[in-house]
Structure 1
Amino acid sequence: MSLLAEPALTASPVVDRPYANLDHAASAPALGAVVDEVMRVLPEYASVHRGAGRYSQITTDRYEAARTQVARFVRARPDDSVVFTRNTTDAINLLAGVVPGETVVLDVEHHANLLPWTRRGRRVVRCRDTVDETLDALVTELRRAPAALLAVTGASNVTGEVLPLGRLADLAHDAGARILVDAAQLAPHRAITLAGTGIDHLVFSGHKLYAPFGAGVLVGRSDWLDDAQPYLAGGGATVDVDGDRVVWHTGAARHEAGSPNVLGAIAIAAACRALTDIGFDRIGVHEHDLRVRLDRGLDALPGVERLAVFGDDDLDRVGIAAFTVAGHSPRAVAEHLAERGIGVRDGRFCAHPLLERLGRRQGAVRASFGVETGADEIDRLLDALAEIC
C-alpha cells in the first residue's frame, strides 16, 4: 500500500480499471496537501513585494515563507540564497551564466546538466565501472586543469543510482572548485543537507517533487549570483533606475525580475512540508521495498535486462528502474502497458550520451514510483510485462 491514506490510483481513460502511474520521474502527481494549499491561498492571491494592499502583503509573506521553507527542507546554510526559477533546467542555466570558469561534468547527466555549461567551457568525464573508479577519474581531471565547478546529478534519471555527494563535495573543494548537485530526482526521495555535505549549489523542480505548478529552485552560495548581471533585466530586480544608470538588487531578487510564479513557489513549500511530515526514513523504507519487488520481478522475466551505470552491488537507488525487453522496441512495450492502464516512460530520457554508452541507442523503458505507489501497481506492471516476454 502507499504511504498516504488517500487512494493512489485514479480511473484510467484507456481501460476500465485504475490507472497505475509509474512515471513519477517525469512528473510526479500533486500531493493532496499541495493542491489543498494552493486552493487555500488562491482567494487572496496578488502581486508580491511592491503593493501596500492587504492581499499583496499576505501573498508577499507567503512567497518569502516559501523561500524559508525550501531552505529548511534542504538544510541550507544561514547565508545561502534561495532563488525561484521555472524548473531545474532554468536554475542550471541561471548558474551557468554566473560561474566564473570551466565546469566538469559526468557523462551520465541529464541534458539539463550537460548542455548549459558549454558557454563558459565544459569538460566531460566518462564514468567508470564503479563509483570509486569514477571518483578517481574526477580527481585526475580536476587536478589536470583548474575548474570553477563540478556539476553532478544526485540520482540518475535513467537508473536511479545515487552518487556519494559528501565525497564528491570533498574532492571538488580539495581541487579548489565548487559543486552543484542536480537534485531533480533526489529531492523527492532522500533527505538533503547542504550544510552537512558541503554542497555549494543545489537545484530541483517542483513538478518532480509532487508540486507540478511550473516552478523550480536554485539554492546555495550567493556571491557568484551577487557579482553577476541579472538573469533577467526588468522590474523587481532593480533598486533604482535613472536614465542609463541602474542599481540592481543583491540576493534572490536580483535574478527574479518580473512577476514570479508565486503559486508554484507556495506549492513547492507545501510539498517540502508534506514530505518532511511523512519522514524520509519512512519514504526510504517504502521505496526500498517496492524497488526490491520490482527488481526481483524484472530479473525473473526472460528477455528483460535492467540498466545500470555502475557495477557496485551496494549502491543506493531511488525509485527508478530502466530496462529493455528483447525483441520489442521500448515504444511497443510502453504502448502495451498503456493499454493495460499502466503509465511508464520510454525513449532516451534526455540522457542520450548515457544511453549510447549503455548500448541502448534506441532507448529503454523506465518505471518510476514514489510515496503514493503501492505494491499492487508493481505487480500489475510485472504481470503485463510477462504477457509479452
Structure 2
Amino acid sequence: MTTPSRATTPPAVVPALLPTVGGDLQVPLVTGGTVRYANLDIAASAPALHSVAERVAAFLPYYSSVHRGAGHGSAVSTAAYETARQTVAGFVGARPDDVVQFARHTTDAFNLLASAVPGEVVTLDVEHHANLLPWRRGATRTVIAAASVAATLEAVAAELARTPAALLAVTGASNVTGEILPLADLVAIAHRHGARIAVDGAQLVPHHRVHLAALDIDYLAFSGHKLYAPYGTGVLVGRRDWLEAAPPYLAGGGAVRAVSLDDVTWAGAPTRHEAGTPNVVGAVALAAACEALAALPDAAQFRHETDLRDRLHEGLTALPGVRILRLWGRGEAELLGLATFTVDGIPAGLVSQYLSAEHGIGVRDGRFCAHPLLARLNGGATAVRASIGVGTTSDDVDRLLRALAELLRNGPSWSYGADSRPHPDPRPLPHWVGAPDRVS
C-alpha cells in the first residue's frame, strides 16, 4: 500500500501594496527581448509613488518663488512649502516646538546637525557613512557593537558613563543587515547620561512609523528618495535650541532678517538654515509620500513587507553557498525587508550584473557606504543587497531566487569583463539619455 504524498501549499501571491512609477517598466536583456523590471534596490533609492508623481504634476503649474513673491503662484508655492513642513511633523509625531528643517538628504541633515552640536558625539561602528563622517569635524567616539543587542546596549551605556557626551547618534535600522535597533532603550540610556539622541531614519522611516514625542527622540533625519519621493529633499526634525544657536548652515538670502554692509541679523530656525531658493517641489513630494504611507490601513505595510522578507530570507537560506550577513543572531532584532548576502566563489559585482543583464532584476552590490560594518561582517569585501518596499511583489522575490538558483546551477550564459559588466552589452539606453562615453 502506498502512502499518498502530502500536497504542498503553494506560496501565497503577494501583490504590490501601493503603485509606483515604473512598476510596469520593461527593460532589455543582453540575450534579447525585454522583461518587466524587478526593482529590488529600494533601500538605495525608492521609485516615486503614483500619488507623489500626481501631486508634483498638479503643483508644477504653480511653481514660483517661496516666501517673497506677491503673485498667486508664489502664494501657492509658499503655502505648499510650509504645509509640507506641517505634514512631515505630523507623520513623525514631532513635538509642538520641534523644528522641521528641510535639507537635501539624510547626509545633508546630519552635516547641518553636526554644525550645531555643542559637544562630543558618540556613534556605533555599524553606521552608514552619513552618520559617521559628519561628526568627525568635532570630537567623536565610536562604540563597537557587541555580539548581542543586550551587550551592545551595555557598551553604549558604559561609554556614555565613562565620559559625558552631548549626543548619541545611531541608526534606526542597518542599511546592510536590516536589523532594527532598540530605539526606546537607546533613548533611555542617552538621556540617563545627559546626552541627546539623533536617529538616522533613512532606512527605518520608509518601513516603520517613528513617533518622536512618544519615543522622546531628540532628532530624526531621513531622505525623500528612500520614502518614495525621489525629488531631491530630506529632513531633520528635532529640538529647536541647538538649531537656533548654531551659525547658519549656508550664508545667503532668505536666512536673514536684516543685512547692512558691515552686519547681519540672522533669522531663527528653520529659516536660518535654508538660505537660497528651497526645493519646494521636493518638499511637496515628501509631504505627499508621508500622506500616502500614513493613509495605509493599520499594519498593512508591516504584513506586506514581513511576508516578502520571510520569503526572501527563506529562499536565500535554501540556496547552497549563499550566506546572509547579520550582525546579531536570529531573533535578536526585528528585520526590515532586505537581505545582504554573498555567493561562494562568485564576486558580488558579477552576481548583480548577471541578475540585471540576464534577468532584468535590479539589486545593489558594494559596501553600501558602511565600510566599517562590511569589514566586520565580510572582511571588507563587497556583497549583494536585495531590498523590498511597498511596490514589491512576490513575483519579484521569486524571480530573484530562481535566477540565483540558475546561476549556481549553470553559471552565467553571457560573457562578463574584468569589471563584471556584460561584454559586449547590446542593451540600448532610452534615446533621451544620449550616449555617454563612460558610465561610472
Map 1:290-305 → 2, pairs under 5 A: 290-305=308-323
Q: Which residue does the alignment assign to 1:232? A: 250
Q: Once the 2 structures are TM-superposed, how far is the Cα of residue 309 of structure 1 from its aligned partner?
A: 1.0
Asked if 2 retains the 8 angstrom alpha-carbon contact of 1:75 and 1:195, the reply is yes
Q: What residue in structure 1 maps to residue 7 of structure 2? A: none
Q: Deviations over 1:237-272 (max 9, x none)?
A: 000112222111112000000000000011000000
Instruction: Please state how far the C-alpha of 1:4 moved relative to its aligned partner.
Output: 2.5
Matched ranges for 1:1-389 at <5 A: 1-4=15-18, 8-14=23-29, 15-279=33-297, 281-339=299-357, 340-389=359-408
**DSSP-derived class of the 1:210 partner:** coil
> What is the deviation of 1:312?
4.5
Provide the rounded CA distance (Å) in 2 between the counterparts of 1:245 and 1:17: 61
Q: Partners of 1:78 and 1:207 in 2: how far apart?
A: 26
Distance 2:374 2:122 in 1: 20
- TM superposition shift of 1:317: 1.2
Structure 2 CA distance for aligned equivalents of residues 345 and 92 of structure 1? 24
Structure number with larger C-alpha Rg: 2
Shift of the 282–314 alpha-carbon distance from structure 1 to 2, 3 Å rule, reads farther
Q: Structure 1 residues 257 and 29, CA, compared in 2 at 3 Å: closer, same or farther?
A: same
The answer to which of 197-206 and 242-251 deviates more is: 242-251
Q: Report deviation, 1:280.
A: 5.7
State the 1:387 CA deviation: 1.1
Contact conserved, 2:89 with 2:237, CA < 8 A, in 1?
Answer: yes
Q: Does the CA-based 8 Å contact 1:47-1:60 persist in structure 2?
A: yes
CA distance in 2 between counterparts of 1:234 and 1:146 reads 35
% identical equivalent positions? 58
SS at 1:234 equivalent: coil
- Contact (CA 8 Å) 1:75, 1:192: kept in 2 or not? yes
Other structure's SS at 1:161 match: coil
Task: State how far apart, in whole Å, the 2-side matches of 1:5 and 1:91 are.
Answer: 29
Aligned equivalents of 2:145, 2:110: Cα separation in 1: 21
Q: Which runs of 4+ in 1 moved over 2 A?
A: 4-9
Q: Aligned partner of 1:192: which letter?
A: V
Whether the 8 Å CA contact 2:148–2:332 is kept in 1: the answer is no
| Matched position secondary structure for 2:123 | strand
Letter in 2 for 1:38: V
Please say if residues 367 and 382 of structure 2, whose CA atoms lie closer than 8 Å, have aligned partners that are also in contact: yes
Scaled by the length of structure 2, the TM-score of the pair is 0.87
**TM-aligned CA deviation for residue 5 of structure 1:** 5.5
Distance 2:338 2:139 in 1: 31
Q: Which moved more, 1:311-320 or 1:353-362?
A: 311-320
Q: In structure 1, give the amino acid aligned to 2:405.
A: A
Paired with 1:279 and 1:145, the residues of 2 have a C-alpha distance of 45
CA shift for structure 1 position 314: 4.6
Q: How many residues align?
A: 389
Unpaired stretches in structure 1, ≥5 consecutive residues: none
Q: After the TM superposition, which of the residue ranges 273-282 and 165-174 deviates more from structure 2? A: 273-282
2:329 is paired with a residue whose SS is coil
1:168 CA displacement:
0.6
Does the 8 A contact of 1:201 with 1:220 survive in 2? yes
Q: Note the C-alpha offset of 1:201.
A: 0.3
Q: CA deviation at 1:16?
A: 1.4
Q: CA deviation at 1:278?
A: 1.7
- Rounded to whole Å, the distance in 1 between the matches of 2:219 and 2:298 is 21
Deviation at 1:306, TM superposition (A): 0.3
What are the ranges of 5 or more consecutive residues in structure 2 without an aligned counterpart?
Answer: 1-14, 409-440
CA distance in 2, matches of 1:360, 1:8: 36
Report SS of the residue matched to 2:258: strand
What value does the CA root-mean-square deviation take over the aligned residues?
1.1
DSSP-derived class of the 1:24 partner: coil
Return the alpha-carbon distance in structure 2 between the equivalents of residues 134 and 280 of structure 1: 31
Moved more, 232-241 or 5-14: 5-14
